[in-house]
Structure formats: C-alpha cells, structure tokens
Structure 1
C-alpha cells in the first residue's frame, strides 16, 4: 500500500448571480483572506461596467477575454546532462484557464489606476482588445515554446 496522502477534490459550486462555474472560479481567484463577498462585489461591478461599455453579454465577454489570454503550452525547466532546458508541453483546459485568470488578476494589480475595481476593469477591457500585459505573457510563452520546440521530446 502506498503511504501517499490522497486528496479529495474540492467541489466548487456555480456562481450565485449568473449560475456559471467560470465566474465562480474567477471570484475565488480574486478573493483574499476568505472575504468572498468583497470579491463578488468587485467582480460583479467590473462585469456590469464592461458589459455597459462594450454593449455585449457579460458571459460571452468573459469567455472572449479568457480565450485571448489562455496559453496552449506550459514551459518547465529540466536539467539534463548538466544543462538546463526549457521544455514546452501542452496543458489541459482547466490549467490554461487558471493561468489566464491569475495573469489577469496579477497584471491588474500592477496598473496605475485608483482602486482594484478600476484596475480590474481596465485590464479586462485591454485584454478584450489584445493590448494588455496578460496577452504579452501569453505571447512570451508562445515565443519561448517555439524557440525550445526541439526539446519537446524530453519527458518531465
């Protein structure tokens, strides 16, 4: 018998307002110190503001924004024969969504606007039009994976 601990998957319930699993995940990534209501207020405010500004459905807007940022590859470092290689490999949908959401939140914190709500709205609008830091992260991952395509046969 193995002595390794087996972890149970945490069940995430759908969003209260829209009934979407995607929105619930986004709220959980925004949340700090267990303050979920504050994270929900921030998220709903930003979603409503974006849907008013761009005059489109909020659910399809978020899907479009996340598809603009989702990476198809992940890069891991591996030491082989005394040399370090960056090895690209394909990732599944859940992991790419995780990267996209975290990059958006991380880059919205770096923006020069007042309050996290306004920073988050600005980052979402910029990612919708493909000129934000989050889309640059995705482009960097694609560029590095193209450069290191030759090492993709190594196993991790």
Structure 2
C-alpha cells in the first residue's frame, strides 16, 4: 500500500495550464490544481499510461507503472513533469488568473 501511495503522490500535479482568451489572443495561464482534481488526474494518467506499456496483461502493466511511479520514473511521472514545465514556462501570464 505504501508503494501505491508513493506512486500517486509522485504523479499528482500541483499546477496546470488553462487557456484564457484575452484581447483576441489565447494565453496558457498557470493555475493551481484542487486536491480532488489532483487525485483524479493522477489516477487517470496512471491508468492511461499503463495501457500503453508492453507487458502482456493489464495487471502487469498497471503494477509496473505503479512501481515506476513510486520510483519517480515512468510515463505518468513524465506527464506530471511536462505539465509543471508548461506552467513554469507560462508563469508570465499568471496575472490573467480568474
């Protein structure tokens, strides 16, 4: 159970970007993710990236992705890091938050 909790904790995003239209231009505005959405996104990414793995059965795929996520590796952790990088890159537009 500790491995699963560590995996979910390593996958859950803190920031994400949302498109906001201002004066005819679309800006990717970084926003903080609510706790319920963090958990939902983490679980969704875990299952989706498990499906893309090469193991034979879904049980093996999910188990391997959980182990990778608990070790801070794997596709679902990379998705979280990419989401955080996008939010960091668009930090200049944070004042458009609503």
TM-score (ref. length: structure 1)? 0.60
> What is the CA-CA distance between 1:84 and the residue it aligns to?
1.3
Deviations 1:24-68 (A, max 9, x none): xxxxxxxxxxxxxxxxxxxxxxxxxxxxxxxxxx2x222111110
Shift in Å at residue 155 of structure 1? 3.0
Q: Does 2:94 match 1:152?
A: yes
Q: Equivalent residue for 1:98?
A: 40
Q: Which has the higher contact order (CA 8 A, sep 6+)?
A: 2
- The residue number in structure 2 matching 1:72 is 14
Q: How many residues align?
A: 98
Q: Aligned match of 2:72 in 114, 126, 130?
A: 130
Structure 2 runs not aligned, ≥5 long: none
Please identify runs of 4+ aligned residues in structure 1 that moved more than 2 A.
none
Please tell me the root mean square deviation across aligned C-alpha atoms, in Å: 1.0
Deviation at 1:92, TM superposition (A): 1.7
Aligned match of 1:142: 84
Q: 1:150 Cα deviation (Å)?
A: 1.0
Runs of 5+ unmatched residues, structure 1: 1-57
Structure with more of its chain in strand, by fraction: 2
